[in-house]
């Protein structure tokens, strides 16, 4: 189960930024948005990785990588989250077993 959660959220590190204050505990709705955004981010990342590897030049690879980053951020925003909040929830999942369990339950229900 931890692997699924990690796979869904691995791209959160792309949006990582240092935080000054402790973030608010994620709500159930926020966690659902996080899971939905993570799924889309994972799809974009997987698709982009193959295209970047197939790029003929470093410039083409860089453009594809930039495009993927923009699409990932748009996917997060589409779910009603900022990249900062997405990262906060990801970090909460990594450090708080209760949050991790709640996310796992959402993932399990939405299969």
- The per-residue DSSP string of the chain comes to -HHHHHHHHGGGGGG----SSPPPPPPHHHHHHHHHHHHHHHHHHHHHHHHHHH-SSHHHHHHHHHHHHHHHHHHHHHTT--HHHHHHHHHHHHH-HHHHHHHHHHHHHT-
Q: How far apart are CA 86 and CA 76, in angstroms?
A: 7
- CA–CA–CA angle 84, 87, 89 (5° rounding): 110
Residue with the larger pLDDT of the pair 63 and 12: 63
| 14 within a domain of the structure (yes/no) | no
pLDDT band at 1 (very low <50, low <70, confident <90, very high): very low
Per-residue pLDDT at 84: 95
| 40 within a domain of the structure (yes/no) | yes
| 33 within a domain of the structure (yes/no) | yes
Per-residue pLDDT at 23: 73
Q: What is the pTM of this model?
A: 0.76
Mean pLDDT of 72-89: 96
Per-residue pLDDT at 3: 39
Per-residue pLDDT at 4: 44
Whether the CB-CB separation of 41 and 75 falls below 8 Å is answered with yes
Per-residue pLDDT at 57: 94
Q: Which of 14, 7, 33, 6 is nearest to 72 (CA)?
A: 14
Per-residue model confidence as pLDDT tens digits over 34-57: 999 999 999 999 999 999 999 999
Per-residue pLDDT at 21: 65
Q: Residue 36's domain spans which residues? A: 2-8+26-109
Count structural domains, the chain.
Answer: 1
Q: Is the pLDDT of residue 73 over 70?
A: yes
| 15 within a domain of the structure (yes/no) | no
Whether the CB-CB separation of 90 and 72 falls below 8 Å is answered with no
């Amino acid at each position: 189960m931890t692997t699924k959660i990690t796979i869904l959220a691995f791209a959160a590190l792309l949006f990582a930024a240092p935080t000054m204050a402790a973030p608010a505990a994620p709500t159930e709705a926020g966690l659902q948005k996080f899971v939905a955004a993570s799924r889309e981010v994972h799809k974009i990342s997987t698709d982009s990785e193959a295209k970047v590897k197939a790029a003929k030049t470093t410039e083409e690879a860089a453009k594809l990588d930039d495009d993927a980053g923009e699409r990932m951020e748009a996917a997060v925003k589409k779910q009603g989250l900022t990249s900062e909040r997405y990262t906060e929830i990801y970090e909460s999942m990594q450090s708080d077993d209760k949050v991790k369990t709640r996310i796992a339950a959402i993932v399990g229900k939405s299969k």
